[in-house]
Structure formats: C-alpha cells, structure tokens
Amino acid sequence: NRMRPLIGIPCHTDFRAGTGRPIYCNNRTYVHAVEGAGGVPILIPLLDNLSSLDTLLPRLDGLLLPGGVDVRPDYYGEEPHPLLDDGDRKLDELELTLANWALQEDIPTLGVCRGMQLLNVAMGGSLYQDLLNQCLGSIQHCNRDLPRTHIAHRVYVEAGSRMDKILGTHEFWVNSLHHQAVKTPGKGVRISGRAEDGVAELLEAPEYRFMMAVQCHPEEIYTKEPACARLFSAFVQACGTIVPVEEEVNVEAHY
C-alpha cells in the first residue's frame, strides 16, 4: 500500500478573531480538496530563516500555491499601481523560494489565483496589477462581496492542451475573486484557458511533469464542478508518481 503523497501549502499571516493574536493560517478548503483527492496536506508557516526549508522540501511530493494578497510588482520589474494591495514581502519570498525549488526539482505544483500569478512571476512573466484599469473591456473578475462559491463566468479551454485532457471539457464555469491576472506569460508558460474577455484563466508549463495553475478557486467549487475535481485528482496523482518502491510502507494498521 503506497504512502499518500505529502503536499505542502504555504500559510499567510493573519490575526485570530476575538483575541487579535498573530497566527499563520490558510483556508480549510485547500486542505480538504487535497485530502479528498488522496493527498496529505501540510501547512508551511512563514519561517524567519528560509534555510529551514532545506529540511522540509525533500520530504514534499507536491506543492499547492494558494490564493492571497498581491505579489509585489518589483519582482516583475514594475512600479506599484495605486490599486495594488499592501502585499507581504515575507510571503512573496517564501512562495517564490518554494516555486523556484519546484521548478528546479520538477515537483508537481498547482497554483490557485495568486498562486497562478506567482508561478508566472517565478518563470519570468508579468501581471496586470489591476484588471479593470489596465485591461480595458474586461468583465468583473473581482467578486469578493459575493460568496466564494459564486459562479461568475465561463472559462474556455484550449483544445489539445494538457488542461483540456485533465479537465475533460472545452469550457466550464468558475468563481472569480481576483483583480490581477497574467499579462506577459513567463518562459515556458502556455496560457491554456481564457475567460470570454481574453483574461488568462489557465496556465501550464508543458516541459514539466505537472506545473499547472488556475485563476479561479477550484477548492471552493470542486464538489459541484467536475472539471475542478478532476484537476485536484490529476494533481495528487502526479504527486504520487514519484514514490520509490523501496519507500512503500503498510500504514493501514495505524488507522
């Protein structure tokens, strides 16, 4: 019986409601989407010393880069737009370190929303800092006043792309909670799906084993949208394909 793949999910900083205590955290939906697809999620805190990652990273089979605050634009050579949020440089440093490690070691990676943007920046691409102001004619992509499960628009999947094979459909409906998006794709990046306004919605890097990202939040809608469930299944499956046979252990006795 194979060990389930261990998949790292970076945390962000926040404050506990009520006490105001500083915490590291992330949304439960990421955890349960990975767990439901057969992976073992582990939350990665913002470490003061990133060299501590040397102990953790060799043990990870995959990486999920989650949604969150805006990536700081100096990472892609631009001045901040007035509508940019404050961002978090320490989080950018952690996640860019994780992304660069995943790219270097060819570790299966799934980016979600900010995660798609961050992956594109890690690969040398740039972002629209605010879609409504910089991408004229774009639809309303930032629906943060609505429930996170609110279905906002269609995504059209490029025929013959890897996303097309994984998602099993040429179009599907998604939620939408972002005000930024990929502008110039990074080196080796293929935009394999777009909204009706042309905004990048799906990203893949074909020369890697599994380097994929989505602009929507599939972890909020995978129970209702089969394409999103298939994405998590394919991701966890890719993470599980690198377990050497000699490392297999029977863990059923512990359940």
Catalytic residue among 95, 201, 219, 225: 219
CA–CA distance from 121 to each of 27, 75, 111, 116, 124 (Å)?
23, 7, 12, 9, 5
Catalytic residue among 113, 135, 228, 239: 113
Q: Do 147 and 177 touch, CB atoms closer than 8 A?
A: no
* 217 included as an active-site residue: yes
Catalytic residue among 141, 153, 178, 217: 217
* 11 included as an active-site residue: no
> Which residues are marked as active site?
113, 217, 219
